[in-house]
Structure 1
Amino acid sequence: MRDRLGSHSPEPATTPLPAVRASAPAAARVSWVDAAKGMSILLVVVHHIVLFLVPYDLVPQPVWAADVAITSLRMPLFFLASGLFLAKPLAGSWRTILHKRVALFAYLYVLWTLLLYGWFQLVPGAEVLTPMTTTPGELVSRLVVPGSSSWFLYALALFSVLAKLVRRVPTGVQLAVSGAISVCASSGLVDFGGETWTLIARCLFFFLLGCYARPLVEGLAARARWWTVALAGLGCMVVASADVLGLRWIPGVAFGFNVAAVTLGVLLAALLARYRLARPLVALGQHTLPVYLLNVFLVSLAVLALRGVHLPAAAQYAAPVVLAVLVTGTALLLHRLLNAAGARVLFGLPARLAYRPVPDHSHALRPSPFPRPAAPGAATP
């Protein structure tokens, strides 16, 4: 996105062994990652709402400033959380990574770029996020070059291939190189050929950090306390002051703000995940994809309904948050309805293209050297 994406089975004949449950710390780790993803997607929806409301003068300056500041948190944290879930697929074969990650995200990117293009042609005034995709020729180029509407999917496919290619490179080297790229991108030191490519370059470090430094990230999450969250927030304010003073162009300042913001995001997500009040946030983090794909359609409709409406100052401050909750809930409901109607291909690969593990026939080809035991009650020689 542009910064200003049972059936009942019969009882077994024998008594099964008791299931081994995951330890509490392990469950907490999964919960906090989902909480972090839930926070990120909510911030993404708020960002889109702000972008759509700005042309109608419905966004107070402090709200706009806050949205710009949160740029350092929402997508870097999202990519960090995505990287944490990639470690296991990376250990598999190229077939696994290409099918389960690259093909899926590339398919969704192309499909939803086409759907958004059609939507913006039909809905007047809904082209805030895609002013560059107005002709068929531009649409074709947007299918190859990442656009501002679904670039997160494009980046995930790209990062998955890159992470697999450099898997045997020492982690320190990967993080050092990707960190340097992020510094250059966030400070404007290097021109990456467009805003979307700059965003991708900024976020690569955090994706690789999630992939290869999971113990470090989990160690940080384990230290989440109210006082550590407050301390991280203070650190963000200190680093942000340099940005306010116009020092963002100095290499390392904007990158430092990103690191400080992601540190705060991890600590806050880990802390919130320990409370029942945050269960909806954790649940949302398990279903971020449909919200990411559907929110722009719903936001554009909501804002079109509001244009021309005079909102009091207090309502303008509350509108982004209230609309974000409504849009997110509607997206989840719409996702369920579309799946029930048989439109699962909107959110995943068609069945004939979906990933299927290669069956292991090695045991079937090798006969056992031991005789098969006789059935109970059968005669023995």
Structure 2
Amino acid sequence: MADLPVLASSARPGASASASPAALGAGRLIWVDAARGLCVVAVVMLHFRIFVYGELSPPSNGIAVWTQFTEFFGGFRLPLLFAISGLVVSQRVRNGWSDRRNLARVASTYWIYAVWLCVFGLMSAIVVGHNVPFRVNSWGSFFSQLLVPDTTLWFVFALVLYLVLLTSLRRVHPAIVLGGLALVSIVSGLVPEEDAEALWLHVVYYAVFFAVGVYLRPALEWFATNELWAKSVAALGLFIICEKLWELTSQGDMVESTARLFRDAAAIVLATTVVALASRLPVFARTASAIGRQTLPVFILQLPVIWVLVLLPVVEDSLTIPLVRYTAPILGTIVIVVVSLLVHRFMLRTPLRHLFQLPASWSDRIRHGSRREARAAAAASEQG
């Protein structure tokens, strides 16, 4: 599990448990884990609102309010999550392929993607005649998604692609990589409106934010330490300006796409300072970071749990009760996160753990194979 980018240790080289109010416990940067936890919770809430609440709840003002609330955080959720995912593996990625942990990480992450695509395909074959999201409807769809994702697993696929890309570009100047990916991100906003929500397009757009985490880790850590109140106020002002400028643009042109990129970059800065500030509160730090250290299982298992919620008649019936209806996105998010974590914990104690782990023998061979070969060659040379 430690090979996975979203679960990798957020240890800061040379940091101590007392390095800052946001850095606690064995050198881990608590604000990093807390940020990941908040991001995945926001993603789960969005998906619950769209696929459960929006589909099953009777029309009411509550739907409009929760729609506006979840859409507001669009600039924060995935840009920050990808930036943090890049940050925690930045040093290894910049080591290039000579660090065989990168190859092991790529293999482990794609293993998880492929295995869970199989699981989603099996779910789709079993559950027929129901309006559930992200079905894998045919063998053609399954095989195409091995290369072009079209389920919530796109996030896992994106991590594989970003790792391969940036590890391979280690000798290219970071400014060139960041500039190139920023341009690609901007151009991705020019696709026709009917393709704007395609999940493969998300993979293209968010690559630059993963690169920000890899190459600009010192800057992100600077925003998360010292004078956090002043930095938060300044970041809030910057975000508001970028948000308003983005709102003035027309959807689908170069200006709008550029403004969106700047808005999302400003959101990363604001979220970093605010989360680091909030991480001074022990209750917040413990809760958010506990979720953040288990981001991937929540991201993957949310879809099976959402399917169960859609299929259970009691869920739709409960949404006719006003108190439940108006608080459902909060309640549903808690249920999905808690159930996902409990199921994941159970799976790790059974052979089902291989759905989240590349077999150890394969991982060891990938990670240490060249060393063993080198030692064998050296021993043969000495004997000769």
TM-score when scaled to structure 1?
0.81
Is 1:340 paired with 2:340?
Answer: no
How many angstroms does 1:272 deviate by?
A: 1.9
Provide the rounded CA distance (Å) in 2 between the counterparts of 1:245 and 1:311.
Answer: 38
1:15 paired residue number: none
Partner SS, residue 146 of structure 2: helix
Q: 1:311 to 1:260 in 2, by over 3 A?
A: farther
* Bigger proportion of residues as helix: 2
2:320 paired residue number: 311
How many angstroms does 1:94 deviate by?
A: 4.7
1:352 paired residue number: 361
Taking every aligned residue pair, what percent have the same amino acid on both sides? 26
**1:109-155 Cα distance to aligned partner (Å, 9 max, x none):** 11111111221332357654325x31222222122211232001111
1:38 paired residue number: 37
1:22 paired residue number: 16
1:292 paired residue number: 299
Pairing partner for 2:114 from 110, 114, 117: 110
1:11 paired residue number: none
Provide the rounded CA distance (Å) in 2 between the counterparts of 1:262 and 1:304.
Answer: 36
Partner SS, residue 353 of structure 1: helix
Is the Cα contact below 8 Å between 2:189 and 2:196 reproduced in 1?
A: no
Partner SS, residue 99 of structure 1: helix
The within-5 A match list for 1:361-372 is: 361=375
Is 1:229 paired with 2:232?
Answer: yes
The within-5 A match list for 1:79-90 is: 79-90=82-93
Is 1:93 paired with 2:97?
Answer: yes
Is the Cα contact below 8 Å between 2:113 and 2:157 reproduced in 1?
A: yes
Provide the rounded CA distance (Å) in 2 between the counterparts of 1:226 and 1:67.
Answer: 25
Q: Give ranges in structure 2 of 5+ residues lacking alignment.
A: 1-5, 7-13, 380-384
Amino acid at match of 2:269: T
Is the Cα contact below 8 Å between 2:57 and 2:316 reproduced in 1?
A: no
Is the Cα contact below 8 Å between 2:57 and 2:320 reproduced in 1?
A: no
Q: 1:244 to 1:190 in 2, by over 3 A?
A: closer
The within-5 A match list for 1:193-232 is: 195-223=198-226, 225-232=228-235
Is the Cα contact below 8 Å between 1:102 and 1:157 reproduced in 2?
A: yes
Partner SS, residue 25 of structure 1: coil
1:371 paired residue number: none
How many angstroms does 1:31 deviate by?
A: 1.0
Q: 1:191 to 1:316 in 2, by over 3 A?
A: closer
TM-score when scaled to structure 2?
0.80
Partner SS, residue 274 of structure 2: helix
Q: 1:124 to 1:318 in 2, by over 3 A?
A: farther
Q: Give ranges in structure 1 of 5+ residues lacking alignment.
A: 6-19, 366-381
Provide the rounded CA distance (Å) in 1 between the counterparts of 2:250 and 2:84.
Answer: 29
How many angstroms does 1:244 deviate by?
A: 4.0
Provide the rounded CA distance (Å) in 1 between the counterparts of 2:292 and 2:114.
Answer: 24
**1:225-250 Cα distance to aligned partner (Å, 9 max, x none):** 34533443344334333444454442
